[in-house]
Amino acid sequence: MIIFMVTAGMQALFNVVDYEKNTKKPTREGNERRYYIAAEEIIWDYAPSGLDQFTAKPLTSPHSDSVTFFEKGEKRIGGKYKKAVYREYTSDTFKTQKQRTQQEQHLGILGKDYIEKFLQLLQFDIPF
């Protein structure tokens, strides 16, 4: 595709010259909020009930569509995988995990915030 564009005449030459524009230094506006985030390794169970929600049969039933993904064996890892999740903590000590209300469970790692606000994230990666 690139060769075609060049041979078809889609090329240009530019002459870049020094240009100084007097601009103001950017400033932060709004409130500063700090979030203490840790990446933690967990075992994530993709089917905690172990049942197909449509047929109510076990996900590892022979000849089921799901057996390929949920059977654990020599060449299969089953329906539980290691996964990194982000958890929010109350301070930079990363000792107390921040509790969420039922209404906040779906909000992801940061929770509610505003686009115009400045965020400072302090991340702590726990070695796996």
Count of structural domains within the chain: 1
The residue-averaged pLDDT of 5-25 equals: 74
Q: Is 7 helix (H, G, I), strand (E, B) or coil?
A: helix
Give residue 14's Cα distance to chain centre.
40
**Cα separation of 39 and 109, whole Å?**
10
For residue 12, tell me if it sits in a domain: no
Q: What is the DSSP letter of 89?
A: E
User: What is the sign of the dihedral through the CA atoms of 61, 67, 70 and 72?
Assistant: positive
* Domain interval for residue 119: 29-125
* pLDDT tens digits for range 63-73: 999 999 999 99
Using the predicted structure, report yes or no on whether residue 118 has a pLDDT greater than 60: no
For residue 7, tell me if it sits in a domain: no
Q: Are 79 and 46 in contact (CB under 8 A)?
A: yes
pTM, two decimals, is: 0.51
Neighbours of 36 (CB within 10 A): 19
pLDDT of amino acid 29 = 74
Greatest Cα pair distance, the chain, in angstroms, is 72
pLDDT of amino acid 5 = 62
For residue 22, tell me if it sits in a domain: no
For residue 6, tell me if it sits in a domain: no
Q: Is 69 helix (H, G, I), strand (E, B) or coil?
A: helix
Higher pLDDT, 88 or 116: 88
For residue 1, tell me if it sits in a domain: no
For residue 37, tell me if it sits in a domain: yes
**Cα separation of 77 and 75, whole Å?**
7
The enclosing domain of 35 has a CATH number of 2.60.40.420
For residue 34, tell me if it sits in a domain: yes
pLDDT of amino acid 114 = 45
For residue 75, tell me if it sits in a domain: yes
